[in-house]
Amino acid sequence: MLLGSLVTFAILYSPQTLIGAFAEQFQVSPSTASFVISFSTMTLAVSMLFISVFSNAWGRKGIMSASLFITSVLAVASSFSTDFHLLLTFRLLEGVSLAGFPAIAMTYLNEEIAPGSIGRVMGVYVGGTAVGGFAGRVIVSALTDLFSWHTALLALGIFSFLCSICFWLYLPKSRHFEPVGISFGHWLGGFKSGFSNVKLLSLYGIGFLLLGAYVTLFNYIGYPLSKPPFNLSQTVIGFLFVFQLVGSWSSFLFGKLADRHSRARLIGLGIAMSMAGALLTVYGHAALMIVGIILFAFGFFAGHTVASGWIGKFAPARHKAYASSLYLLFYYTGSSLVGWSGGLFLSSFGWPGVIGLICFLLLLTALLIVPLTREAPAPSLHQAGAPK
């Protein structure tokens, strides 16, 4: 599962460090260049709504494996893009093919892992997203400096294809999967259930805002870093993403803590750390910039790990897959919409404007924790039935 996360998030976010290069080469604005990320995350979000229907009928492993193989092939094909529109077309298709892994991964883990261990295991899975995001950015940044972004995307596609083979060979088959027929009535019922619970809606909102803030910071942080007083190269900027690997440790740590402590407080702690980290990047000092990136990534992965692992507690057993899909729909929609809007703030207000947007989003996220702390009212004696 960690390999699957690595492939998914390496391909999904690898162009993030190249947004400035795309803007310069193709003569487009930063917000337009960010479509290489937004197109993939938006189609990924929408496609996940439909993947769950087929995974409930056909099984988990086969669809996840096909998703990784097809995406790797598309990544190789995208390396031969000759203009911006062709590159965006491949990125859009990659979003569709990628949907088969994250839409099912959390459901697979909830089915196969004992409830007492799911927080810890979810931490390992989410930690894989940090490893994948880092590996993709570093491979692409370094190879772009040495050769070109075409060579970089080609190498990443080949690397991902090899990882996909290992995933297919070594992932255990489902032992607790119970297939159901393809039923759009059941599909509609599942999503209706997912939208009828206030606490689930709060978690969807938390996912939307958290990833939106995270992608906004890392989409555009290359701009201040490549300008005076830093003047960093693509390779150095890419290697700065090594600090995102603290997200792997954060995911594992907070996943374990979530099995024993208040999830609402843990999410609040993650938000506070992310906000402090974002504010540190404003001061224009290299050391503070690095500390800010570390703290921001640590807080984000803490909050996301706890929130995503909480979905299964509020969703009915037969509708867990749909609730997970809705969480990820909001999660990646936040990446697309907020990540794109961050470019507008960068163009209008510079880096401090981007940080102002991020802090506002994190404050909204903190407000969404409140419904999660409220207990459902106890049923009345009439509702519960007379004691026997």
Q: How far apart are CA 347 and CA 31, in angstroms?
A: 8
pLDDT the model gives residue 172: 86
For residue 169 the two structure tokens come to 């060979």
State the amino acid at position 354 in one-letter form.
Answer: V
pLDDT the model gives residue 57: 62
Phi, psi (degrees; rounded to nearest 5) at 61? -65, -45
Q: How far apart are CA 249 and CA 41, in angstroms?
A: 25
Name the most confidently modeled range: 145-154, 176-185, 306-315: 145-154
Q: Is the pLDDT of residue 6 over 80?
A: yes
Q: Is the pLDDT of residue 175 over 70?
A: yes
pLDDT (tens digit, 9 = 90+) per residue, 232-268?
887 787 777 777 777 778 888 888 888 788 889 999 9
User: From the centroid of its chain, how far is CA 20?
Assistant: 22
What residue ranges define each of the domains in the chain, with the CATH number in brackets? 2-170+190-373 (1.20.1250.20)
pLDDT the model gives residue 181: 63
Long-range contacts of 236-239 (CB under 8 A, 24+ apart): 237/17, 237/141, 238/17, 238/137, 238/138, 238/140, 238/141, 238/142, 239/138, 239/141, 239/142
pLDDT (tens digit, 9 = 90+) per residue, 14-72?
888 888 888 888 888 888 988 999 899 889 888 887 776 777 666 788 889 999 999 99
Confidence class of residue 226 from pLDDT cuts 50, 70 and 90? Answer: confident
